[in-house]
């Protein structure tokens, strides 16, 4: 395994880490208006992610920085071509951050911050899936690695509607469905009382929706992204990761009887396996091409060996520190919470 392949795997780990850790607090935000029936319920839901949400986003920042440094051509092409979608995503995340920080300090704007928390979670959940769907399907590239617009001219696209093709929308819905399952599993694990009961009930219903959308996404991949399906199924790892998604869903279901920890671990396994299946569906490319240009691959998009080696040394030092930090912060805020615990400090 060369340096390029090592960084391909490391990027997969970083994106999987972001999906797992930020996925459940995005899910809490989407479920917020449906499960939060009172001020106490809403405060409980916010506090279940309040101390950790900003740390969870470190995975996304690290993944973006690693992509920029390890595969600069991929970073430049994808982020330029999806500029409008990226800006919409960033603004949504900013409003979500504002909602979590200001909701209990600004009662006059409580309704606004509630909607900001919901939309700031739902929009990224959808757009992340749409972005993944476009990459799995392939992007129209020129030989320079740029998007093709009408007439075949090598210009960067800034059209959000172009990214909302049927296949990408299916993957976007799949992303939202899994994130809602993950969020409900987290709430069932972290809360007590009525919020816990509603989350546990929603978890079962959402699991059915997730599995149904997963099957639909599999069928859509066979017919709308046949090259990706062929790459995934040609690899034993692709089959393994695909099976593990359903195993994770089974653990979520089993957890309804065996305990909330098992359900959360099951949704975690399903999310990590979906990221791994995505990697198997595009390897060795990072951005497959459906245009006349070459795909952006590990071979033609990687930075210099010197840069990859230097970053690998930094990663070997930094990643264990990040993991240790996460261990400490999650241990500090371990245990269930309820509106009673929060008292009147909503």
Domain coordinates in residue numbering, the chain: 3-339
Would you state the pLDDT for residue 290?
A: 85
Cβ neighbours for 72, distance < 8 A, ≥ 6 positions apart: 301, 303
Confidence of residue 191 (pLDDT cuts 50, 70, 90): very high
**pLDDT exceeds cutoff 70 at 288:** yes
DSSP letter at 295 equals P
**pLDDT exceeds cutoff 60 at 344:** no
Per DSSP, the residues of 243-289 read: HHHHHHHHHHHHHHHH-HHHHHHHHHHHHHHHHHHHHHHHTTEEE-B
Pair 92, 119: CB distance under 8 Å: yes
Of 115-124, 136-145, 156-165, 256-265, where does mean pLDDT reach its minimum?
A: 156-165
Per DSSP, the residues of 296-334 read: EEHHHH---HHHHHHHHHHHHHHHHHHHHHHHHHHHHT-
What whole-number distance in Å separates Cα of residue 64 and Cα of residue 14?
9
Q: Which residue has the higher pLDDT, 104 or 126?
A: 126
What whole-number distance in Å separates Cα of residue 70 and Cα of residue 11?
9
Percent of the chain with pLDDT over 70: 94
Mean pLDDT of all residues in 153-165: 62
51: its two tokens: 């101390």
Confidence of residue 228 (pLDDT cuts 50, 70, 90): very high
- 289 strand-pairing partners: 139
Confidence of residue 149 (pLDDT cuts 50, 70, 90): low
Q: What are phi and psi of 297, to 5 degrees?
A: -115, 175
Q: Which residue has the tokens 């969870």?
A: 56
Q: What average pLDDT does the structure give for the chain? A: 90
pLDDT tens, position by position, 40-92: 899 999 999 988 888 898 899 999 999 999 999 899 888 877 888 888 999 99
What whole-number distance in Å separates Cα of residue 167 and Cα of residue 220?
7
Pair 298, 284: CB distance under 8 Å: yes
Would you state the pLDDT for residue 345?
A: 53
Report the chain's terminal Cα–Cα distance, integer Å: 52
pLDDT tens, position by position, 290-338: 877 788 999 989 999 999 999 999 999 988 988 898 899 898 888 888 7
Residue environment code for 236-269, b if the CB has 16+ CB neighbours within 10 A, otherwise e: eebeebbebbeebbebbbebbeeebebbbbbbbb
Would you state the pLDDT for residue 26?
A: 96
Confidence of residue 197 (pLDDT cuts 50, 70, 90): very high
Q: Which residue has the higher pLDDT, 143 or 282?
A: 282
CATH 1.20.120.1200 given to domain 3-339: no
Instruction: Output the pTM of the full model.
Output: 0.93
Confidence of residue 156 (pLDDT cuts 50, 70, 90): very low
Would you state the pLDDT for residue 176?
A: 98
What whole-number distance in Å separates Cα of residue 117 and Cα of residue 19?
18
Mean pLDDT of all residues in 89-96: 93
Confidence of residue 97 (pLDDT cuts 50, 70, 90): very high
Would you state the pLDDT for residue 204?
A: 94
Mean pLDDT of all residues in 196-207: 95
């Amino acid at each position: 395994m060369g340096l390029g392949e090592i960084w391909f795997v490391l990027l997969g780990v970083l994106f999987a880490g972001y999906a797992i850790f930020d996925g459940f607090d995005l899910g809490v935000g989407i479920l917020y208006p449906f499960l939060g029936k009172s001020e106490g319920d809403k405060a409980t839901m916010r506090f279940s992610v309040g101390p950790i949400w900003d740390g969870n986003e470190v995975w996304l920042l690290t993944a973006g920085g690693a992509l920029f440094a390890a595969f600069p051509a991929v970073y430049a092409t994808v982020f330029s071509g999806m500029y409008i979608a990226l800006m919409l995503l960033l603004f949504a995340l900013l409003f979500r951050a504002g909602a979590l920080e200001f909701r209990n300090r600004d009662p006059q704007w409580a309704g606004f911050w509630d909607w900001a928390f919901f939309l700031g979670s739902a929009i990224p959940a959808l757009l992340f899936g749409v972005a993944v769907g476009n990459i799995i399907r392939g992007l129209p590239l020129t030989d320079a690695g740029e998007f093709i617009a009408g007439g075949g001219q090598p210009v960067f696209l800034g059209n959000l509607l172009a990214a909302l093709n049927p296949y990408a929308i299916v993957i976007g819905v799949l992303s939202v469905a899994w994130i809602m399952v993950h969020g409900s599993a987290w709430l069932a694990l972290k809360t007590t009382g009525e919020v816990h009961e509603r989350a546990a009930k929603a978890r079962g219903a959402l699991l059915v929706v997730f599995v149904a959308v997963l099957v639909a996404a599999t069928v859509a991949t066979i017919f709308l992204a046949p090259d990706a399906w062929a790459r995934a199924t040609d690899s034993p790892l692709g089959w393994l990761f695909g099976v593990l998604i359903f195993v994770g869903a089974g653990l979520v279901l089993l957890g309804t009887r065996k305990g909330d920890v098992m359900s959360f671990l099951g949704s975690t396994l399903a999310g990590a396996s979906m990221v791994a299946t995505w990697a198997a569906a595009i390897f060795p490319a990072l951005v497959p091409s459906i245009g006349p240009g070459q795909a952006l691959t590990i071979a033609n998009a990687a930075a210099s060996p010197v840069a990859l080696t230097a970053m690998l040394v930094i990663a070997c030092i930094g990643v264990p520190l990040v993991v240790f930090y996460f261990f400490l912060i999650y241990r500090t805020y371990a245990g269930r919470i309820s509106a009673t615990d929060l008292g009147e400090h909503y």
